[in-house]
A and B are shown apart, each in its own frame.
Chain A
Amino acid sequence: MGVLSAVILYFVAQKFKVEEDPRIDEVEKMLPGANCGGCGFAGCRAMAEALVVRDDISALFCPVGGAECMKKTAAYLGKVAPEKEPTVATVRCGGVCSKRPRTNEYNGTKKCSMAAAFYTGETACAYGCLGYGDCVDACQFGAIKVNPETGIAEVDPDKCTACGACVKACPKGIIELRKKWPKNRAVYVSCVSKDKGAVTMKACKAGCIGCGKCAKVCAFGAITVENGVAYIDSQKCKLCRKCVNECPTGAIVLKGMDPLPKEPKAPAAKPAAAETKSAEKKESVNEQK
């Protein structure tokens, strides 16, 4: 009886055995194994399958493993490695408690998705960070936290893998994946308020009022002002930092670098070579005007 069952089981197992490319297992081992979905697939296994099956893998990219991981897998599979610039999640809201006064108290379930579906939030700003941490829940890497003092989510750029889970989780669309510069340098408009300047000002002292001064000063055409809010294209921005000094509300945030001195002619403290050139070039453009 037992032997018979064993024989039957053996044949059934043989019959239903799934033929699989052994390379999928290997590729899966090379991937980070975070199963975060940042690549657009359900998990690392699905990504590995796609990498093995497709001839052209230029559209596939694992943001967690980054270029190095992709190079390794591509070399193993004998394919051309996809290239992508590293990016980092950036929270574009500067409405800290001191600058954005609370006008009411939210007593419902502390989830951004629920609060945002119902009303504007605890401040008069309808666009700012709610601070209940849906992004924190979405992040698998512990890279994002809500600072209890400011009430705003903050990203640790060293831990961030740019998987994009927080971008999807934020109901206010505040988080953006922006180009990652060395040493975590960054310049961005830390506000997404589409309100008119006066309304924004009333709600938050750190908001972008859409005055457009930054756009005028930018030599690279990286800044656009639309719907009452400025936006810096991280692909075009060269980190010249001129806009930072122009902004009347301090909505443009500079990270990882010293600001330009107020006098435009004095050279910047210790800028990297590429930035110095571009900054100088830009200054000369300005002088010509």
Chain B
Amino acid sequence: MANKFIIATAPHMHNPHSTQSLMRDVIVALMPALAVSAVVYGLSVLYVTAIAVVSCVLVEFLIQKYLIKGTPTLGNLSAVVTGLLLAFNLPANIPWWIIVIGAVVAIGVAKMTFGGLGHNPFNPALVGRVFLLIAYPVQMTSFPEIEPVVGGIVDTFSGATPLAAVKSGAMSVTDANLMSLFGGFNAGSMGELSATALLVGGLYMLWRRVITWHIPVAVLGSMAAFAFIVALMQGGGAELYALPLFHLLAGGAMLGAIFMATDYVTSPMTPKGMLIYGVGIGVITMIIRLWGAYPEGMSFAILLMNAVTPLINKYVKPRRFGVTTAKK
């Protein structure tokens, strides 16, 4: 017979998903937020994003090709995702060389030193961002003024983020314009502007089964609950609802909960573990935001919980089939 028989053990079918397709879905999910940012801050957003993505991809390529002399695996698009997420954590007016340094730290230090995709203990984009935040605090926290793109809709804002304004006492949470936070017309990093756009991206990833609901819900839920309890202890009043809502919508909460904390490599493997991890992030974020030195604590919280992930993986096991709490 002319046929050649191919032999392998079962299963003989495979899911259409691949690492590449999952990463592509994440990129698609980031697009609405990028679009909002571009509308608000203008073309410089696209310029920053392009530099971040290109430098991340280039750093990964150069390291794989010349430093470890392996086959470059750019096809899995993970460097593109890292570049996008790094860009989302930067102000739109940041000098280009800072972006490149961020990319080198993100890919070179946080990812490739540990063995590349799948082996990094910390979220590369966040390591890059935190490095820049500490090394270049001025450039990282001065945001451009928002220009009214579509005539007269948006008031020109000062360069301080709502979180920083609240922290310094310049604004109270009840003053904050929640609708504006929802829509995306506040100063901030490129990707954290619009909660709506980020939510749309998150829903897309849920629909495509890229992520599960556990981490985002745990992060946001615990943040809201924490803020609610704090407001309650401070006497309630108008803040009772304003404080939780403000913290959910302001700063990097949405970006962190939906895109950063859900990074596959650095988050736990079991649903229960994901919930613990999410709650940890939420609580640490709120502690830093309310009582820490920085106005925003999302990045630190995620990196701290990344460090706990291996421990969670070791001790939090999935429910074993046949072992039910309510036994007959």
Contact = CB atoms under 8 A, between A and B. Distances in A.
Interface in A121-153: 122
Main secondary structure of the interface of B (DSSP, over half): strand
Contacts of B97: none
B3 to A, nearest CB: 10
Contacts of A118: 7, 9
A104 B9 contact: no
Interface residues of B, number: 6
A114 B9 contact: yes
B8 interface: yes
Interface residues of A, number: 10
A105 B9 contact: no
Interface string B4-37: 1111110000000000000000000000000000
A104 B8 contact: no
A122 B7 CA distance: 9
A119 B7 CA distance: 9
Contacts of B7: 104-108, 118-119, 122
A11 B6 CA distance: 67
Nearest to A119: B7
A106 B5 CA distance: 9
A132 to B, nearest CB: 13
A105 B7 CA distance: 6
A107 B10 CA distance: 11
Contacts of A104: 4-7
B265 to A, nearest CB: 23
Interface string A88-127: 0000000000000001111110000010001100100000
A104 to B, nearest CB: 4
Nearest to B4: A105
B8 A106 contact: yes
Contacts of A106: 7-8
A259 to B, nearest CB: 38
A106 B9 CA distance: 9
Nearest to A114: B9
A16 to B, nearest CB: 27
A108 B9 contact: yes
Contacts of B8: 106-108
Nearest to A122: B7
Nearest to A102: B4
B5 A107 contact: no
A118 B9 CA distance: 7
A105 B6 CA distance: 5
Contacts of B5: 103-105
A122 B8 CA distance: 11
A107 B5 CA distance: 10
Nearest to A108: B8
Contacts of A119: 7
A105 B4 CA distance: 7
Contacts of A114: 9
Interface in A201-256: none
Contacts of B4: 104-105
A108 B4 CA distance: 15
Nearest to A105: B6
Contacts of B9: 108, 114, 118
Interface of A: 103-108, 114, 118-119, 122
Given A104-B4, A105-B7, A107-B8, 17 more contacts: A103-B5, A104-B5, A104-B6, A105-B4, A105-B5, A105-B6, A106-B7, A106-B8, A107-B6, A107-B7, A108-B7, A108-B8, A108-B9, A118-B7, A118-B9, A119-B7, A122-B7
- Top 4 nearest A-B pairs (CB, nearest first) are A107-B8, A104-B5, A108-B8, A108-B9
10 contacts: A104-B7, A105-B4, A105-B6, A105-B7, A106-B8, A107-B6, A108-B8, A118-B9, A119-B7, A122-B7
